[in-house]
Every structure is written in structure tokens, then in C-alpha cells.
Amino acid sequence: MKKYSETAMKYIFMASATVSIIAVVVICVFLFSKGFPTIAEIGVFNFLGGTVWKPLEGHFGIFPMIVGSIYVTAGAIILGVPIGILCAVFMARFCPPKLYKILKPAVDLLAGIPSIVYGFFALMVIVPVMQDIFGGSGKGILTASILLAIMILPTIIGVAESALRAVPESYYEGSLALGATHERSVFFTLLPAAKSGILAGVILGIGRAIGETMAVVYIAGNQPILPDSILSGVRTMTANIVLEMGYAADGIHRNALIATAVVLFVFILIINLSFSLLRRRND
């Protein structure tokens, strides 16, 4: 009976993996079959390097949206990654058990809050604060970066903490035996040993940041222009798709939005491959 159950589970797992692969292939085929011909029709340079997005006038340059996505994601990484890693270190090695019972559910709760709630919170809280400090509308790259930094924290914290706890205790004990303090043992022994898992958490956080849509729509300013400062309003590629897909008529406008999704897909793929290569080289 045990043999048959193991065989059955083997095929179930294989079928699940196959469904996942098929889903990815179908998505890729749909995007690329619609996107590449549109990019060729518009012109690669005009599409990727164009600075004017006016679909009704026949201008389909998405370079401002590419720059906006890069700036917002970079800001989220700069703000969120150090805080997330340090928080994971604290929870894994410094946090008292009673406090951990409060912090852990709180971090898990952050991961379960819908994006639109984050966006509404930022619109009601962060935007007015930015208006008081810097003036203007309060919507722009910095505001979106702060919000995305908050949104990627639970992903980075969860994965990084698990990676730190997976490091054998003998590493820590050996460091103490050589005379290192608790802090030096954690930061100079455990943290480097867990870098592969921590990097995986950072990659997942970047994917969350660059793919976020609804929260960014509220507070980024939604201006399809090249920003001149961190306070300028921008429109990301995801926001561009969600804002215009609802009223885009069938034809080159809708296909240009699909082509934007192709660029975003390739962008995320390049980021993941780059980090994977970096992790292999460091290993």
C-alpha cells in the first residue's frame, strides 16, 4: 500500500510541476506573439527609446515608464533591503522570545495586507507628510519608494530569517570559541553563511517592487514624463498598463500595452538571471 501511495504522490507532484510549466509557456506565447510584432511595427528605438506617450496621436514611447520603474524600484531597494535584513538578523538572533511572539505575527500580517490598502494608507498618511516637508503634491518617486520599501519588508524579512536559522549552530559556536563576541559571530559568520538565502529574499522583494501596480497608481503621480528629481511624478510600466487597458481600443494601442508587459517581463527575467549568476559566483 505504501508503495502505491508513493507512486501516486510522485505523479501528482509531476503533474503539478507540469501545469506550472505549461502556464508559464502559455503566458510567454501570448505576450510574445502580441508584443514582438507591435514593437517591430512601432520600431524598437521609437518604442523603447521614445520619450512621448500619446497613443491617440500615434506616439508610443515607453522610455519614461522604464525610467520611472527603475527609479521607484531602486529607491525601494535602497530603503527596504537594509531594514529588512537587519530586522531579520534581530528576529533570528537578538529578539527575546516574548517579543518574537509579537513581531513574527506582525510581519506575517504585513505580507497579507492587500496592495490597494497599502496604497490608500500612503495616500492618506505618507502623501500629506511629504507635502508638509517638501511641498507640491506629495506624489512622486520618493513617496512611491517609501511605500514599496514597506511592502517588500515582509518578503525580505521572512526569507532572510529562515536563511539565518538554517545556518548550522556549529558556525556560531565555533566563532564564539575563537573569541568573537555575539554580535561579531552573527554579522561576520552567520550572515555571510546565509548570503545565498538572503539574496533570494532580496530578489523576491525586487520582483514584488517592480511588479506592484495598484499601490503605486495612487501615489506615483502618473505622469508619463522623464523625472528630473526624486520628488517628480512618474508613471511605471505596470501603472501604464492598468490605467489604459480598460479604455484602449483593439488595435495598436492595446497591443502597445501588451508590448509594455513584454518589456516588463523581460526586465524581471534579466534581474532574476543577473542575481542568480551573482549568487552562483559568490557560492
pLDDT along the chain (283 residues), means of 10: 74 88 88 86 87 85 90 92 93 90 90 88 91 87 92 92 90 86 88 87 86 84 85 88 78 87 86 75 62
The DSSP call for residue 138 is: S
Q: 196 CB contacts (<8 Å, ≥6 apart)?
A: 163, 279, 282, 283
130: its cell numbers: 511629504
Burial of 111 (0-12, 13-18, 19+ CB in 10 A): middle
Query: Which CATH topology does 63-282 take?
Result: MetI-like fold (1.10.3720)
The confidence score (pLDDT) of residue 86 equals: 94
The confidence score (pLDDT) of residue 1 equals: 63
Chain centroid to CA 239: 14
The confidence score (pLDDT) of residue 283 equals: 59
Cα→Cα distances 247→36, 53, 55, 237, Å:
22, 15, 12, 17
The confidence score (pLDDT) of residue 149 equals: 93
